[in-house]
Amino acid sequence: MLSQPKTFFLEILKNLGKLTIAGLLLGLLREYHWVLAAILFLRVAHVCYKKVFKTGENNWILFTGMILTGIFGLIGEYWGTSNDYWEYNDVTVSLPAWLPFAWMLAFHYLYRLEKKLTPCLKNPSFTNQVLLMIFLTIVIPAYGEMIAIAAGVWQYYWPYQIFGVPVYAFIALVFVHMLVYAILYYLFKNHNEKDFPFTTAR
């Protein structure tokens, strides 16, 4: 399935390292959720300026994906915390201010990684790219959650956990990210966008 397995797995490891640093940063600043919100907002603004407006590429797929992921993520967070399925530690609110920006950046992270790894596929067909994205949405977000949970940022009350992440959370993360990708696919499939998901013309 892979034409460049070394490049593929090195890229995965490099990104897991970045997630480790990000998760530890969340843990370090978890009591100061407005500070974290400001940091992540600045990162979102930088990504949008650089990738959507400054370069002239007008990557509306990236922008739309970030907005949709932020909205769906917040809906899921409200549902989960309202039903006591999980809670955030060391904050006086049920939903920390940084959450929408973290979800938006999660889309950017996965979108960029999928774009980098697609050339490593021996046959970058539509099906193989979908399978790649499913693999990434299983591994990458869950690993980030494991680090953040170990750092004390939040905790789940669902059973059947793997390093603090319940099986239900694995399923939910895949559902949210693949739902966003499906919406983007149908929204932009007739727009001939360069960075259109699940296409070899990238």
Query: What are the pLDDT digits (tens) for 113-162?
Result: 988 898 888 888 888 888 999 999 999 999 999 999 999 999 999 999 99
The answer to whether 140 touches 109, Cβ cutoff 8 Å, is: yes
- pLDDT 10s digits, 158-169: 999 999 999 999
Cα–Cα distance for residue pair 136/56, rounded to 1 Å: 29
Q: What angle do CA 117, 45, 64 make, to 5 degrees?
A: 60
pLDDT digits (tens, 9 = 90+) for 81-122: 999 999 999 999 999 999 999 999 999 999 989 888 988 888
The DSSP bridge partners found for residue 87 are 155
Q: What is the DSSP letter of 92?
A: S
Q: Which of 53, 58, 63, 149 is nearest to 104 (CA)?
A: 63
Tell me: the pLDDT tens digits for 39-52?
999 999 999 888 87
Please identify which residue in the block is written with the tokens 């979108």.
Answer: 111
Which pTM does this prediction carry?
A: 0.89
